[in-house]
Chains A and B, each alone.
Chain A
């Protein structure tokens, strides 16, 4: 059985399985990944790094494709800036 990892999404702690991607953490936090240019909430579409809908701020780096990044302990994820 794999262990879990705690990361922060918009300040709230989320526990995800080891190896889970940041996109999964954002989804488990009940958040959209980003707000579109006309203000719509958006979440992952392709799940494989092509569509860029899952962009979020990961450890301060903007436009990170959250479906391609695995969670590590104490990661700081923001979708609300």
Chain B
């Protein structure tokens, strides 16, 4: 039996990226007893991932971490929330323990993941997400002297290419599927965000020397045991490029599974929130990418609003509304710039696997008309990732809508599922505020 512990918080934050950290700090600085639970070994989420000891720390992150310490926020890392056994309680699983976390208010800051689109060879080892490869390098993967093709769509591609090159990789090409016209419009829109211009100029300097092609995408990855080369399509011509890694992601999709499990209303793929970042479930707030893909600045603002509102500081929250609106406009520009072109729907061949957990090929999905039918008949989306990878892909390929989410929201160990709060001594009732 795994160790069982329980903790009670005024405000519990799920997710330790920028939105979660900002929410926790704002609630705790007001005197609330606050906990952050995150499945990664350290705070930071994806964008602030430091990786190895002494790894690159964003200056912005360091200030927030200092506030986390000063405000005495309880940080529970390496623990993944998988179930809500009762209102106001979440269960989280660690390497050898399970925690029961109860709360008066909850802030969901579950972040986003990359969207992956299937093409022949995308399952070959060393084909990774763009953010995926960057996370691996931050976690110690030697990249010095390796040749990496960066492809897909979104602002992440340039950041990843710059990062990899800075760490000794050779990046022969960046393939962005969006057209120049959209990117030019994006560049003009950036003028309204001074911070973004500085970031953009720095990026441009860092990727100077890398060939950047627009209207371009990978049509196949070659190799059996390991990646050897990729074929890209560019302006109607095909080109084969030798490489050690392909870093390929198609922008981001929000992690809405936990909010959906808790009953939060999802609209057009995003968690619906009110002005105070409160979801349709009273006392449950959501901040950052799950409410709309907008980047670190918007996540920090939404996190602060959620943390302030969750700890009863509505006027403090209200003071940030205007700034948030500015960055929400930026988020809409992102969506428009990097929307996927229809040619990407025809990359998969009949044999291309769409569901990597259950190895379901494209040809077996074509005959179905809905995600549910495909799941029932082919096991697509029924493996350990629970459709987190193939779900967004089939949504794009077949316009299928995702199903309801069922517990556990992540695969959990049987002994942890068997843990029942009723077997334990009851917690004294929280003094008000519990929904």
A32 to B383 CA separation, bound complex (whole angstroms): 19
Tell me if B12 counts as interface (CB < 8 A to partner A).
no
Report yes or no: A37 in contact with B358, Cβ–Cβ below 8 A: yes
Q: In the complex, which residue of chain A has the Cβ closest to the Cβ of B357?
A: A52
- Give min CB distance, B231 to chain A, whole Å: 20
Q: Chain B interface secondary structure, helix, strand, loop or mixed? A: loop
The size class of the interface chain B forms with chain A is 35 or more
Q: Is A24 in contact with B141, judged by CB distance below 8 angstroms?
A: yes
Q: Is the CB of B411 within 8 A of A46?
A: no
Please name all residues of chain B whose beta carbon is closer than 8 Å to the beta carbon of A20 when the two chains form the complex: 52, 139-141
Contact partner of B389 among A43, A44, A45, CB < 8 A? Answer: A45
The stretch from B124-132, B281-289, B423-431 touching chain A is B124-132
Query: Counting CB contacts under 8 A, is B225 at the interface?
Result: yes
Known contacts A2-B54, A48-B46, A52-B383: A41-B225 contact under CB 8 Å: yes
Is A68 in contact with chain B by the CB < 8 A criterion?
A: yes
A6 at the interface (CB under 8 A from B): no
Out of B78, B95, B136, B359, which one reaches A47, CB within 8 Å? B136
Pair A36/B359 contact, Cβ less than 8 Å? yes
Q: B335: CB under 8 A from chain A? A: no
Which of A18, A21, A47, A68 gathers the greatest number of chain B CB atoms within 10 Å? A47
Q: Within B15-40, which residues are at the interface with A (CB < 8 Å)? A: 39-40
* B39 partner residues in chain A, CB cutoff 8 A: 49, 68
Chain B 372-415, CB-CB to A under 8 Å as 1, else 0, gives 00000000000111001100000000000000000000010000
Q: Select which of A2, A27, A51 is within 8 A of B136 by beta carbon.
A: A27
A81 interface hit (Cβ, 8 Å): no
B10 to chain A, nearest CB (A): 28
B209 at the interface (CB under 8 A from A): no
Q: How far is the CA of A52 from the CA of B384 in the complex (A)?
A: 6
When distances are taken between beta carbons in the complex, the residues of chain A under 8 Å from B217 are none
Partner of A42, one of B78, B135, B136, B356: B356
Residue B299, interface by CB 8 Å? no
- Chain A, interface size category, equals 35 or more
Question: Complex: how many Å from CA A44 to CA B41?
Answer: 17
The residues of A that contact B242 with a CB separation of less than 8 Å are none
> With A17-B140, A18-B52 in contact, is A51–B359 under 8 Å at CB?
no
- Main secondary structure, interface of A, reads loop
From B52, B129, B133, B225, contact of A19 by CB (8 A): B52
Contact between A47 and B113, CB atoms less than 8 A apart? no
Q: Does B41 contact A41, Cβ atoms closer than 8 Å? A: no
Which residues in A have their C-beta under 8 angstroms from that of B126? 43
B114 on the A face (CB < 8 A): yes
B177 near A: Cβ within 8 Å?
no
Chain B residues in 8 Å Cβ range of A27: 136, 141
Binary A-proximity of B62-102 (CB < 8 A = 1, otherwise 0): 00000000000000001010000000000000010000000
- CB-nearest residue of chain B to A30: B226
In the complex, which residues of chain A have a beta carbon less than 8 angstroms from the beta carbon of B131?
Answer: 46-48
Min CB distance A63 to B, Å, is 7
Chain A window 42-81, contacts with chain B (Cβ cutoff 8 Å), 1 for yes, 0 for no: 1111111111110100000001000111100000000000
Cβ contacts B100-141/A at 8 Å (1 or 0 each): 000000000000011010000001011111011111100111
Closest 3 interchain pairs by CB? A20-B140, A47-B135, A43-B125
- 22 of the cross-chain contacts (CB-CB < 8 Å) are A18-B53, A20-B52, A24-B136, A28-B142, A41-B225, A42-B125, A43-B126, A44-B128, A44-B136, A45-B129, A45-B389, A47-B133, A47-B139, A48-B40, A48-B132, A51-B388, A52-B384, A52-B385, A63-B411, A67-B135, A68-B40, A70-B41
- List residues of chain A with CB under 8 Å of any chain B CB: 2, 16-21, 23-24, 27-28, 32, 36-38, 40-53, 55, 63, 67-70
**5 more A-B residue pairs beyond the given contacts A19-B51, A50-B389, with a C-beta to C-beta distance below 8 A:** A18-B53, A20-B139, A42-B123, A46-B116, A46-B131
